[in-house]
Amino acid sequence: MSKIKEILSVLEEMAPLAYAEDFDNVGLLVGNPDTEATGVLVCHDALESVLEEAIAKDCNLVVCFHPILFSGIKKITGKNYVERSIIKAIKNDIAIYSVHTALDNHQDGVNKIFCDALGLTNTTILIPKENFIRKLITYTIAENAEKLRNSLFDAGAGNIGNYEDCSFNSKGIGTYMGNEHSNPQLGERFEFVQGEEIKIEVTFEKYLESKILKALFSNHAYEEVAYEVYELQNKHQNIGLGMLGEFENPMDEKDFLLFVKEKMKSEGIRHSTFLGKQIKKVAVLGGSGSYAIKNAILAGADAFLTADLKYHQFYEAENRLLLADIGHFESERYTKNYIVDYLRKKILNFAIILSEENTNPVKYL
């Protein structure tokens, strides 16, 4: 593995960019993907100090969790920390790649890492992603059905939860008649053909559509392929924001918060009123998660751990759960370790380095 783009393909396997939220700015933010890679530095935030660390350690690809470029900028003059970081990266031929909500929404991503740090089990997605599943319906002859189905499975269709190679197949009668320009698989031009066909139905994640259709056209027996693609209203149970998990042994509220403080290395936790209940079912959402308070309540969580809560948002606990703000950086602190471990397993002949810079901008007395 020698070019930056080859490393980026591994990162996209880890956190498909299609999983990211629409408002986000993920992927390659700075740099040329065709550049020869010298090393990878993984960090939380691609600040100037991190880029200096990359230079010192001969890494020309910085993989960060938060995107240093989030909203559009019209000038790059070095007047703020974002512009200074971009200038330093460009001057030193350093590429910057961000994963952010692409990893937030992954079932093994930010919130699973959060749950694992606390020892939570039986984890499920708190807010499943909507409008992300599509269905393909096509028709073919029996002799072509197995080959066509398998090609669609290989392209990523037919994955539902913990199951793969899922499809629905039914038999029916198809009819057609070709014109003078046709070259029918069965029958002749101008001949009315009636025969048994197999209807194949498979679901897939919407970002795979072009790959699915390529497999369909390449492996279908017919000259003209009849197919339909629908957007489904089903929620994707394995992609989404936040996560629910359970402790094997419940604990009281104060012990719970002290446990969280220790495990997440938080220097301070703000929380809502204690309710005198045992904490067993916990909802988590790394980063700013105030929008998910109602989701946590509806899910029956005893506590909800997140960050960046405002004064009035603590009232939204409504005496139904314990609401705790453990700090933005703290709630995501193990994410960069996960990225490093993943890359080291996939890339064996390359330096993957965990940044030593603490980029948490919040300090405590």
How much of the chain is helix, strand and coil, in % rounded to 5?
35, 30, 35
Question: How far is C-alpha 207 from the chain's CA centre?
Answer: 12
CB 24 within 8 A of CB 67: yes
SS3 167: coil
Angstrom distance (rounded) from CA 138 to CA 227? 4
Please identify every stretch of the chain with a pLDDT value under 50, giving residue numbers as ranges.
none
pLDDT of residue 1: 55
DSSP for 325-365, please give it.
E--HHHHHTTHHHHHHHHHHHH-SSS-EEE-----------
Fill in the amino acid letter for 303.
Answer: A
Angstrom distance (rounded) from CA 221 to CA 123? 43
pLDDT of residue 108: 96
Fill in the amino acid letter for 234.
Answer: N
Is 325 flagged in the annotation as binding?
Answer: no
pLDDT of residue 221: 92
pLDDT of residue 73: 86
Is 100 flagged in the annotation as binding?
Answer: no
Question: How far is C-alpha 350 from the chain's CA centre?
Answer: 24
**Strand blocks (E) in the chain:** 27-30, 40-45, 61-66, 95-98, 121-129, 133-140, 168-176, 193-205, 227-231, 236-252, 270-271, 278-288, 303-307, 322-325, 352-354
**pLDDT tens readout for residues 280-297:** 999 999 999 999 999 999
Is 22 flagged in the annotation as binding?
Answer: no
pTM: 0.88
**pLDDT tens readout for residues 152-171:** 999 999 998 889 999 999 99
Is 332 flagged in the annotation as binding?
Answer: yes
Q: Which of 123, 116, 122, 110 has the alpha carbon at shortest distance from 285?
A: 110
